Amino acid sequence: MNKLNVALIFGGKSGEHEVSLSSAASIYENINKDKYNVFTIGITKEGTWLYYDGNAENIKNGKWVELANKNVEINLVPMGNKEVGLLFEDGSIQKIDVLFPVLHGPYGEDGTIQGLFEISQIPYVGCGVLASSTGMDKLICKTIYSEIGLPQVNYCSTNRWTFRQNQEEELNEIESKLNYPIFVKPANLGSSVGISKVTNREELLSGINEALIYDSRIVLEQGIDAREIEVAVLGNDEVKASIAGEIKPAKDFYDYEDKYINGASTYDIPAKISEADMEKIRTMAIKAFKSLDGKGLSRVDFFIDKYSGEIFINEINTLPGFTNISMYPKMWEATGLEYSNLIDKLIELALDTKK
């Protein structure tokens, strides 16, 4: 059987660049190289695309930039007689069968690079342009979830221009709608980058200014004392949900450092919740995924109020982390789908979208 040529694409210009490197290194180590020829393509923080033919460790530690073969041309745009693929110095062209993006945050999972993949006409892993762009935008997602009846905590929003024009008015408006503690989040970012939990007006101002570094639009959510539950979904038309897991943050909430650096938080897979709540959460996760026309994969996050037991959808991540401590592969492994088989399934789903 001929091997498929898979291009693993990582890095990118977003604040989640380092997360992407860790995810890509993990996938590279676990992908079945008896089935696939793997070509690794990195995007620097400045946006330069480079072909790197090396090991996972140098992807993870960032040395791939200096070790990249800068004479290989990466062409994903059909132009005249120029073929799509990797163009090597000797004039040979390496065709790519499947693109496997492991790009988190803006320019990677927000629909922008998915648009390029559509132009290339090469099948790619994960959600398409629509699901990626809407899934990345917390405000748009909240509107959609409200429309389809998925419960959410109370929230409001502001933006850079309005906040800087009317700072006191905006702070007053937020405090009239929400009680402390409040979570402040950039509308378009993931991996808990730029998120803060605030307990007074001074912290609210600081949290908004921090979030505005990453985005011009801000989501403010009512903080509740809640359990953090996550579930992985997989599929195109037929969508399945893994068993749910519960994150037990080492801090006030599951932040960037805890997710990708120190791994101090603990987790339960499966989550210690009732069978009824488990099925309800899995059903809600599939509903959320389908409402965005999701394809391939996503991780959907929920809250369970510790006092009332109410379940709220938090957000969807259309390109979740794939590091060795990431919940997405761990939840599927606990459901019976091993890491390398999960990669196989994602590639299969990518190919299926082009049939």
**Residue among 163, 215, 175, 179 at smallest CA distance from 194:** 215
Domain coordinates of the chain in residue numbers?
Answer: 4-124, 135-151+225-352, 155-222
Q: Per the CATH hierarchy, to which homologous superfamily does domain 135-151+225-352 belong?
A: ATP-grasp fold, B domain (3.30.470.20)
Separation CA 109–CA 25 (nearest Å): 18
Show the low-confidence residues of the chain (pLDDT under 50). Answer: 254, 260
Express each pLDDT in 267-295 by its tens digit: 999 999 999 999 999 999 999 999 999 99
pLDDT for 173 equals 97
Q: Fold for domain 4-124?
A: Rossmann fold (3.40.50)
pLDDT for 79 equals 77
pLDDT for 16 equals 84
- 63, HSE (Cβ side, Cα atoms, 13 Å): 8
Q: To 5 degrees, how large is the angle CA 255–CA 261–CA 266?
A: 65
Classify 154 as helix, strand or coil.
coil
pLDDT for 190 equals 58
Q: How buried is residue 146: exposed, middle or buried, by Cβ count under 10 Å (0-12/13-18/19+)?
A: exposed
Q: How far is CA 339 from CA 204, 265, 315, in A?
A: 41, 21, 24
Neighbours of 155 (CB within 10 A): 17
* CB contact at 8 A, 300 and 313: yes
Q: Per the CATH hierarchy, to which homologous superfamily does domain 155-222 belong?
A: ATP-grasp fold, A domain (3.30.1490.20)
Classify 279 as helix, strand or coil.
helix
